[in-house]
A and B are shown apart, each in its own frame.
Chain A
Amino acid sequence: MAKSPEGEHPHKAFGWAARDPSGALSPFHFSRRENGDEDVTVKILYCGVCHSDLHTAKNEWGFTNYPVVPGHEIVGVATKVGNNVEKFKVGDKVGVGVLVGSCKRCEPCQQDLENYCPKVTLTYNSIGQDGTKTYGGYSDMIVVDQRYVLRFPDNLPLDAGAPLLCAGITVYSPMKYYGMTEAGKHLGVAGLGGLGHVAVKIGKAFGLKVTVISSSSKKESEAINKLGADSFLVTSDPAKMKAAMGTMDFIIDTISAVHPLLPLLSLLKMNGKLVTVGLPDKPLELPIFPLVVGRKLVGGSDIGGMKETQEMLDFCAKHNIAADIELIRMEDINTAMERLAKSDVRYRFVIDVGNSLSQ
Chain B
Amino acid sequence: MSSAEHPRKAFGWAARDASGVLSPFNFSRRATGEKDVAFKVLYCGICHSDLHMVKNEWGHTVYPVVPGHEIVGEVTEVGSNVTKFKVGDRVGVGCMVGSCHSCDNCANNVENYCPKMILTYGSKYHDGTMTYGGYSDTMVVEEHFIVRIPDNLPLDAAAPLLCAGITVFSPLRYYGLDRPGAHVGVVGLGGLGHVAVKFAKAMGAKVTVISTSPNKKNEAIESLGADAFLISRNQDELEGAMGTMDGIIDTVSAHHPLLPLIGLLKSHGKLVLVGAPEKPLELPVFPLLLGRKLVGGSCIGGMKETQEMVDFAAKHNITADIEVIPIDYVNTAMGRLLKADVKYRFVIDIANTMKASS
Contact = CB atoms under 8 A, between A and B. Distances in A.
Interface in A243-302: 246, 261-262, 270-271, 276-280, 283-302
A177 B289 contact: no
Contact of A279 (B115, B276, B289): B289
Interface string B174-192: 1000000000000000000
B258 A293 contact: no
Contact of A292 (B283, B287, B291, B297): B297
Contacts of B274: 292
A292 B299 contact: yes
Contacts of B123: none
Contacts of B280: 262, 285-288
A302 B299 contact: no
A295 B288 CA distance: 18
A101 to B, nearest CB: 16
B209 to A, nearest CB: 21
Contacts of B291: 116, 300, 302
Given A261-B283, A284-B283, A116 B277 contact: no
Interface residues of A, number: 34
A108 B286 CA distance: 18
A276 B293 contact: no
A61 B74 CA distance: 62
B285 A276 contact: yes
Nearest to A261: B283
Interface string B97-119: 00000000100001001010000
A303 to B, nearest CB: 9
A289 B259 CA distance: 19
A271 B285 contact: no
Interface string B289-315: 111111111110000000000000000
Contacts of A296: 296-297
A295 B173 CA distance: 13
Contacts of B292: 116, 177, 299-302
Interface of A: 108, 113, 116, 177, 246, 261-262, 270-271, 276-280, 283-302
Given A283-B285, A300-B289, 18 more contacts: A113-B267, A116-B292, A262-B280, A270-B113, A279-B289, A280-B285, A284-B285, A290-B297, A291-B297, A292-B276, A292-B298, A292-B299, A293-B297, A295-B174, A295-B298, A298-B296, A299-B292, A301-B289
